[in-house]
C-alpha cells in the first residue's frame, strides 16, 4: 500500500535564488536568518532528518548519520507566490508570472467590481492585512463599503466585518471578483479576509477563503485521482488547486490543527497522497516580520514531527518542503524568492542521501509520479532511484 505525505511549511525558504535581485530579495534566507536572530531556535528532529546538511544553520548542525535524505529545490516558474510554488511542486511550471499591482488596481477594475457587487469600495492600496483593517475598519463598519487591497503578491484581497456583510454574501462578492479577474488580470488568488471586533480592536477570523484559478496544466493530483488513488488535502491545498485533483479535503485553522488532521489521515488505510499546507509560518509570522513567532512555530512543528514518523507504514514516503520564502528579518513583509528545503524520510529511504540542488520544484512531482508508477514526469527529473 503506497502512500506519500507531503508537508509544506509555508514560506520556510532556505536561501536566495540566483535571480533574487530581480525580485528585490537579495539577502533573504528565511530559516537561516531566523536562526541567526533567535538564539533559542532548536530543531532536533528536522536536524536528525538532515536539515543542517542542506546549508549552515546556527544550532542545527549537519549530521553524519542523518536518518533522512536531504537537498533543496529551485523554483523554475516565474514568481514567488503561494499558488506558483504549490503548482510547481505538483508539476505545473509557469512561464509567465501572475500579474501584480504595485500601484494598486486600475479604476476600470475597481469600477467593474463595484458594479458587480452593487457597493462602492474603499482602500485599493498596497497594505498588510492587519494594518488595513486598523486604518479603514471604522469607515467600512460605518459605510458598509468592502476594503480592497493587494500586496507584492498576485492577490486581490477583500476585507469585511462579519457583522456588516454576512459570510455568504461576502464569499459571493469574492467569487464575482474571481470571475472578473481573468485574462491579463488573472491574479493568482482572490482572498476573502473577514474580521470581527470593534474600533481599535479588530481581529481577522479563521473564515478566510482563497479563490484560485484552475491549474494551467495537468498536476500530479489530477494524475493520481485519474488512476483512482486517494488525494487528501489539508489546509488551504484545496483552495490553491481550486478543488481539482482532490478526493477528500479539510480546511484547518492553525498549524496545530493541520498536523492533527495529517495524523488522522495517516491512521486511515488508503493508497495515495496526503498533501498538507501549514500556513501560520507565512500568514502569522513571515508577513508580520515576527522572528520569534516564526522560530517558535518551527520548533512547535519540529516537536510534533515524531508523531508523524511514528505513524509511517513500511512503504510510506514523507516529504517536508516549502513553497517560497518570507524572511521576517528583512525590511520587506512580502514573500522572498528562495530555494526551498527538501527532507525525505521513509523506512525504505536510503538515509544520509544528498539529493543535491534540484533545478525545479517539479522534481518532487516527477519523483512521486515515479513512486506511484504514473507515466507523466512533468518535464522534470525524478530522484526516486537516488533515495531508495
Alpha helix segments (H runs only) across the chain? 30-37, 44-49, 51-54, 82-89, 107-117, 129-143, 167-180, 220-226, 237-240, 255-266, 280, 291-310, 362-371, 384-387
- Which of 156, 159, 92, 172 has the alpha carbon at shortest distance from 129? 159
The pLDDT tens digits for 49-79 are 999 999 999 999 999 999 999 999 999 999 9
Task: Read off the pLDDT band of 95 (50, 70, 90).
Answer: confident
Stated pTM of the model: 0.91
- The mean predicted confidence, pLDDT, of the chain is 96
Range list for CATH 3.30.70.1250 in the chain: 107-211
Between the alpha carbon of residue 332 and those of residues 97, 127, 193, 195, 368, the distances in Å are: 20, 12, 21, 24, 34
The pLDDT tens digits for 206-241 are 899 999 899 999 999 999 999 999 999 999 999 999
The pLDDT tens digits for 135-162 are 999 999 999 999 999 987 889 999 999 9
Q: Dig out the grid coordinates for 149 from the structure.
A: 487591497
Whole-number percent of the chain with pLDDT over 70:
100
Range list for CATH 3.40.720.10 in the chain: 3-94+216-387
Task: Read off the pLDDT band of 130 (50, 70, 90).
Answer: confident
pLDDT score for 220: 98
pLDDT score for 133: 95
If one looks up domain 3-94+216-387 in CATH, what number appears?
A: 3.40.720.10
Yes or no: say if 276 and 7 are a contact pair by the CB < 8 Å rule.
yes
pLDDT score for 151: 85
- Using the predicted structure, report yes or no on whether residue 10 has a pLDDT greater than 90: yes
The pLDDT tens digits for 312-365 are 999 999 999 999 999 999 999 889 999 999 999 999 999 999 999 999 999 999
Check: CATH 3.30.70.1250 for 107-211? yes
pLDDT score for 323: 98
pLDDT score for 135: 95
pLDDT score for 97: 86
Amino acid at each position: 500500500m503506497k502512500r506519500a505525505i507531503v508537508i509544506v511549511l509555508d514560506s520556510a525558504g532556505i536561501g536566495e535564488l540566483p535571480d533574487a535581485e530581480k525580485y528585490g530579495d537579495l539577502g533573504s534566507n528565511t530559516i537561516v536568518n531566523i536562526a541567526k536572530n533567535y538564539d533559542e531556535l532548536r530543531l532536533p528532529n528536522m536536524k536528525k532528518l538532515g536539515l543542517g546538511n542542506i546549508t549552515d544553520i546556527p544550532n542545527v548542525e549537519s549530521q553524519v548519520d542523518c536518518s533522512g535524505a536531504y537537498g533543496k529545490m529551485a523554483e523554475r516558474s516565474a514568481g514567488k507566490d503561494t499558488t506558483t510554488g504549490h503548482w510547481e511542486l505538483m508539476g505545473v511550471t509557469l512561464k509567465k508570472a501572475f500579474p501584480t499591482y504595485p500601484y494598486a488596481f486600475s479604476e476600470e477594475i475597481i469600477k467593474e467590481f463595484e458594479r458587480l457587487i452593487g457597493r462602492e469600495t474603499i482602500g485599493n492600496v498596497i497594505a498588510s492585512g492587519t494594518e488595513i483593517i486598523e486604518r479603514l475598519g471604522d469607515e467600512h463598519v460605518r459605510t458598509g463599503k468592502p476594503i480592497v487591497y493587494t500586496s507584492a503578491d498576485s492577490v486581490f484581497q477583500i476585507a469585511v466585518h462579519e457583522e456588516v456583510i454576512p459570510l455568504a454574501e461576502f464569499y459571493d462578492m469574492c467569487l464575482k471578483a474571481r470571475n472578473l479577474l481573468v485574462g491579463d488580470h488573472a491574479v493568482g488568488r482572490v482572498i476573502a479576509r473577514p474580521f470581527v471586533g470593534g474600533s481599535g480592536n479588530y481581529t481577522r477570523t479563521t473564515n478566510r477563503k482563497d479563490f484560485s484559478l484552475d491549474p494551467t496544466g495537468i498536476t500530479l493530483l489530477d494524475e493520481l485521482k485519474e488512476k483512482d488513488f486517494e488525494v487528501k488535502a489539508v489546509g488551504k491545498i484545496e483552495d490553491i488547486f481550486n478543488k481539482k485533483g482532490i478526493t477528500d479535503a479539510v480546511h484547518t485553522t492553525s498549524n496545530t490543527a493541520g498536523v492533527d488532521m495529517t495524523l488522522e489521515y495517516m491512521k486511515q488505510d488508503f493508497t495515495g497522497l496526503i498533501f498538507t499546507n501549514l500556513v501560520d509560518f507565512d500568514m502569522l509570522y513571515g508577513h508580520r516580520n515576527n522572528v520569534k513567532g516564526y522560530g517558535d512555530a518551527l520548533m512547535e512543528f519540529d516537536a510534533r514531527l515524531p508523531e508523524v514518523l511514528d505513524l509511517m507504514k513500511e512503504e510510506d514516503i514523507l516529504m517536508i518542503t516549502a513553497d517560497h520564502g518570507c524572511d521576517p528579518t528583512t525590511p520587506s513583509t512580502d514573500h522572498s524568492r528562495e530555494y526551498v528545503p527538501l527532507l525525505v524520510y521513509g523506512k525504505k529511504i536510503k538515509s544520509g542521501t544528498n539529493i543535491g540542488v534540484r533545478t525545479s520544484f517539479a522534481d518532487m512531482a516527477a519523483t512521486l509520479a515515479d513512486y506511484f508508477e504514473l507515466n507523466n514526469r512533468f518535464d522534470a527529473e525524478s530522484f526516486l532511484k537516488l533515495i531508495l
